């Protein structure tokens, strides 16, 4: 298990770099997690991140990739352009969600 240093906070990460406690997430944490993924956040990234966070808040799980693509209007290629490690590893990690277990 690793730690993420955000300001004066030290947040626990799991072995894959996901937050152990999603409640600790905020935009500053997202920016630090984005650095670990070598992603520079833009408005388009935030649109996906906010969608993922809202979906997770509503349903308690990350959306399936097809659902995310339909709801955001993005193509799979566009999501991978924004988050090179993919919607599960990259987007969900930066959004502060738990590590997805299915096809995200």
**Tens digit of each residue's pLDDT (9 = 90 or more) over 78-96:** 999 999 999 988 999 999 9
- The residue range of the domain holding 27 is 2-94
Structure confidence at residue 82 (pLDDT): 98
Q: Which residues are catalytic?
A: 103
pLDDT in tens, 24-43: 999 999 999 999 999 999 99
Instruction: Check residue 1 and give its pLDDT.
Output: 62
Q: In whole angstroms, what separates CA 22 from the centre of its chain?
A: 10
**CATH label of the domain that carries residue 34:** 1.10.10.370
What integer best gives the mean pLDDT of the chain? 93
Residue 104 lies in a domain: no
Predicted local distance difference test score (pLDDT) of residue 100? 81
Indicate the pTM of the whole model.
0.92
Does 99 fall in a domain? Answer: no
Q: ∠ CA(65), CA(92), CA(23), 5° rounding?
A: 135
Q: Is residue 102, in this structure, part of any structural domain at all?
A: no
Residues 41-70: pLDDT tens digits? 999 999 999 999 999 999 999 999 999 999
Q: What is the enclosing helix (H) or strand (E) of 10?
A: strand 9-13
């Amino acid at each position: 298990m690793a730690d993420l240093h955000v300001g004066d906070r030290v947040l626990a990460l799991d072995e894959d770099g996901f937050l152990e406690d999603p409640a600790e997430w905020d935009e500053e944490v997202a920016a630090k997690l984005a650095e670990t993924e070598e992603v520079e956040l833009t408005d388009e990234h935030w649109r996906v991140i906010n969608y993922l966070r809202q979906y997770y808040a509503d349903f308690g799980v990350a959306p399936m990739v097809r659902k995310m693509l339909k709801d955001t209007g993005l193509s799979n290629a566009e999501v991978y352009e924004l988050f090179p490690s993919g919607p599960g590893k990259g987007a969900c990690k930066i959004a502060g969600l738990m590590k997805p277990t299915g096809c995200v």
